[in-house]
Structure 1
Amino acid sequence: MGERKIGLVATIAIAVAVLVGVTIALLVFDPRATGADALRTGGLAAGSVVALYALWLNDRRRRTEEKRQELETQRQELDRERYALEQQRQALEDRRTAQDHVRAADERFARAVELLGNEADQVRVGALHALAGLARSNPDYTQTVLDVLCSYLRRPFDHPKWTRSDDVEIAEELQRERTVRQTASKLVVSLLPTTDEVDPPRYDLDIAAAFMDRFDLSGRVVGRLDAQACRFRHRTNLEGAVFHRKVDLHDATFLHPLHARKAVFHDRLVLTCATSSAPVSFSLAEFHGEVALREARFAEHVSFAQASFRAHLDLRWASFSGGIDLRVSSPVPATALHESEVNTAADVSLPDGWDLDPLPSPNLARISAEPLRQDHAHG
Structure 2
Amino acid sequence: MWLVAPIALLIVGALSLAVYHYAYELFAHAADRHEPPKPVNVSDVVKTTVTVLTLIGAVLAGIYAYRKQLLAEGDARRADASQLADRYTTAAEQLGHERAAVRLAGVYALARLADDWIDQRQVCIDVLCAYLRMPYEPHPAEATHKEGEREVRLTIIRTIRDHLRHPDTPTSWTENFLDFTGATFDGGDFTDSHFHGRADFRRAIFPSGIIDFRRAVFSGTVIFRTTKFSGSTVDFTHAEFSGGTVDFTGATFSGGTVSFRDVLLRSGEINFEGAEQTGGTVDFTHARSDGTQINWGPFPHPPEP
TM-score range, shorter chain: 0.7 to 0.9
Pair 85,241 (structure 1): closer, same or farther in 2 beyond 3 Å: farther
**Residues 81-92 of structure 1: matches in 2 within 5 Å?**
81-92=60-71
User: Which of 310, 313, 333 is matched with 2:291 structurally?
Assistant: 310
TM (normalized to structure 1)?
0.60
Which residue identity lines up with residue 302 of structure 2 in the other structure? L
- Report the secondary structure of 2:257's partner residue: coil
CA distance in 2, matches of 1:199, 1:137: 8
Q: Which structure has more RCO (C-alpha within 8 Å, separation ≥ 6)?
A: 2
Task: Render the CA deviation track for 1:315-372: whole Å, top value 9, x for unaligned.
Answer: 22x25xxxx671244xxxxxxxxxxxxxxxxxxxxxxxxxxxxxxxxxxxxxxxxxxx
User: Which of 193, 196, 200 is matched with 1:219 structurally?
Assistant: 193
TM (normalized to structure 2)?
0.74
Pair 65,305 (structure 1): closer, same or farther in 2 beyond 3 Å: farther
User: Which of 85, 92, 102 is matched with 1:123 structurally?
Assistant: 102
- Please say which of residues 63-72 and 198-207 is displaced more in the overlay: 198-207
Unaligned runs of 5+ in 2: 1-35
Structure of larger gyration radius: 1
CA RMSD of aligned residues (A): 3.1
- Report the secondary structure of 2:148's partner residue: helix
Tell whether 2:230 aligns with 1:230.
no
Give the match for residue 243 of structure 1. Answer: 218
Runs of 4+ in 1 over 6 A off after TM superposition: 168-172
Pair 199,66 (structure 1): closer, same or farther in 2 beyond 3 Å: farther
Kindly state the Cα deviation for residue 222 of structure 1 after the two structures are TM-superposed: 3.7
CA distance in 2, matches of 1:262, 1:178: 26
Pair 252,287 (structure 1): closer, same or farther in 2 beyond 3 Å: farther
Which residue identity lines up with residue 209 of structure 1 in the other structure? G
Kindly state the Cα deviation for residue 86 of structure 1 after the two structures are TM-superposed: 0.6
Which residue identity lines up with residue 268 of structure 2 in the other structure? G
Kindly state the Cα deviation for residue 75 of structure 1 after the two structures are TM-superposed: 0.8
User: Which of 246, 253, 269 is matched with 1:269 structurally?
Assistant: 246
CA distance in 2, matches of 1:119, 1:199: 30
Which residue identity lines up with residue 223 of structure 1 in the other structure? G
CA distance in 1, matches of 2:50, 2:165: 59
Whether the 8 Å CA contact 1:281–1:304 is kept in 2: the answer is: yes
- Please say which of residues 206-215 and 228-237 is displaced more in the overlay: 228-237
CA distance in 1, matches of 2:44, 2:265: 78
Pair 246,105 (structure 1): closer, same or farther in 2 beyond 3 Å: same
**Residues 146-295 of structure 1: matches in 2 within 5 Å?**
146-160=125-139, 174-192=146-164, 194-197=166-169, 202-212=175-185, 213-232=187-206, 233-250=208-225, 251-253=227-229, 255-272=232-249, 273-275=251-253, 277-281=256-260, 283-294=262-273, 295=275
Task: Render the CA deviation track for 1:61-102: whole Å, top value 9, x for unaligned.
Answer: 4x4234323321221221111111111111111011101111
Give the match for residue 74 of structure 1. Answer: 53
Task: Render the CA deviation track for 1:4-25: whole Å, top value 9, x for unaligned.
Answer: xxxxxxxxxxxxxxxxxxxxxx
Kindly state the Cα deviation for residue 314 of structure 1 after the two structures are TM-superposed: 1.4
Number of residue pairs matched by the alignment: 261
Kindly state the Cα deviation for residue 185 of structure 1 after the two structures are TM-superposed: 1.6
- Please say which of residues 105-114 and 93-102 is displaced more in the overlay: 105-114
Pair 102,197 (structure 1): closer, same or farther in 2 beyond 3 Å: closer
Give the match for residue 6 of structure 2. Answer: none
Give the match for residue 4 of structure 2. Answer: none
CA distance in 1, matches of 2:291, 2:243: 10
Whether the 8 Å CA contact 1:282–1:307 is kept in 2: the answer is: no
Tell whether 2:44 aligns with 1:65.
yes
- Report the secondary structure of 1:277's partner residue: strand
Q: State percent identity of aligned pairs.
A: 18
Which residue identity lines up with residue 212 of structure 2 in the other structure? N
CA distance in 2, matches of 1:198, 1:72: 50
